[in-house]
Amino acid sequence: MQTIPSEITKRQEQLQDEIFEISTQQEFEKKSLEIFQIQSKYCQPYNTYLSLLGVDPEKINTLQQIPFLPVQLFKNHNISCFNGQPQAIFTSSATTGMIPSKHPVKSLSLYSRSFTSAFRRFFGEPSGYNILALLPSYLEREGSSLVYMAQELICMSGKPHSGFYLYNFEELRNTLLQLKESNQKTILLGVTFALLDFAKDYRISYPNLTVVETGGMKGRGQELSRDKVHQLLTEQLGIQKVASEYGMAELLSQAWSLGDGLFDTPPWMEVLIRDPSDPFKCLEDGKTGGVNIIDLANIYSCSFVQTEDMGKKEAGNSFRITGRINNSELRGCNLLLEN
């Protein structure tokens, strides 16, 4: 295993703070290119991948020139860029017979800083909400980054009703009705199939409830378009819109949608859309293609990930997920296919 020099390790530690201070596109591009240069040398699988492509990292000077590491390589390679042992290993929610991805995490505090900083940008302070998590399939396995995030947000909420609700739907309904009666701000964060099951059997009318779906049917039912899922949830829970979270085990940051399936990223994360017929060519805004993600919180693994999702960018860095690339594996953390 390649040893990372002390001066590089020190620079990575500095970047842990600097990425969260990014405020302009120029700063983002500068930090991205610096992190690319580090990872192209010291993330061994990424270095090998670039070599096989015949890419000279020294000649990369724009984001559009950076080759993105296929997310499938997290399944059978150690995608790490640090010395020593990881503090945790996040794993993807692969269905039966599929190989899960493994993401070695050097610093759980870095992950916590990433998701809490982003949460505050989109929703405000966690302490301002009751946070109820409905993540049954994720709680029943080890290594879920989503469960870790939910647990931390629940702790930061500090409210007595905040917590995980496994399959105890009746208790969840009673809690929601009590919170509605007392007019308390509440977030219900859930995997799609569990939200649909709950809403079908326990209809309520709670207009001020914030519902956040994290995607995923996990083979529990027919794959529905996001529009259809949101229609069912708004009708059965009596809410105006459904928010969404876009994340995966291979990333330490998430994009969030406050409704209508339109996602935004925090300043240290960006989406690029690649040509489906040429994975090394970026498409302009408004065109549908493969989703590439730059996540600068992945300082200690690889910040440049080629996903198996299809999507398109809109104004600014907003984007939509429109489906999956043909023949790619379906996983619980993927967002729903759209019509």
Taking the C-alpha atoms of residue 102 and residue 80, their distance in angstroms, rounded to an integer, is: 10
The reported pLDDT for the residue numbered 330 is 41
- Tell me the per-residue pLDDT of 115-164, one tens digit each, with 9 for 90 and over: 999 999 999 999 999 999 998 877 777 899 999 999 999 999 999 999 99
Phi, psi of 275 (to 5 degrees): -65, 125
Predicted confidence band of residue 333 (pLDDT cuts 50, 70, 90): very low
Where in the chain do CATH 2.30.38.10 domains reside? 6-85+264-324
What size, in residues, is the chain?
339
- Tell me the per-residue pLDDT of 194-251, one tens digit each, with 9 for 90 and over: 999 999 999 899 999 999 999 875 555 566 778 888 999 999 999 999 999 999 999 9
Question: Averaged over 67-79, what is the pLDDT?
Answer: 96
The reported pLDDT for the residue numbered 327 is 60
Q: Give the rounded percent of residues in the chain with a pLDDT score beyond 70.
A: 92
The reported pLDDT for the residue numbered 221 is 57
Cβ pair 191, 216 in contact under 8 A: yes
Predicted confidence band of residue 315 (pLDDT cuts 50, 70, 90): confident
Q: Chain-wide mean pLDDT for the chain? A: 91
Where in the chain do CATH 3.40.50.980 domains reside? 109-257
Predicted confidence band of residue 95 (pLDDT cuts 50, 70, 90): low
pLDDT reading at 331 higher than 90: no
- Tell me the per-residue pLDDT of 167-191, one tens digit each, with 9 for 90 and over: 889 999 999 999 999 999 999 999 9
Domain 109-257 grouped into CATH 3.40.50.980: yes
Checking phi first, is residue 189 left (phi over 0); if not, alpha (psi -120 to 50) or beta? Answer: beta
Question: CATH class for domain 6-85+264-324?
Answer: mainly beta
Distances, alpha carbon 248 to alpha carbons 177, 231, 295, 332, in Å: 32, 24, 11, 10
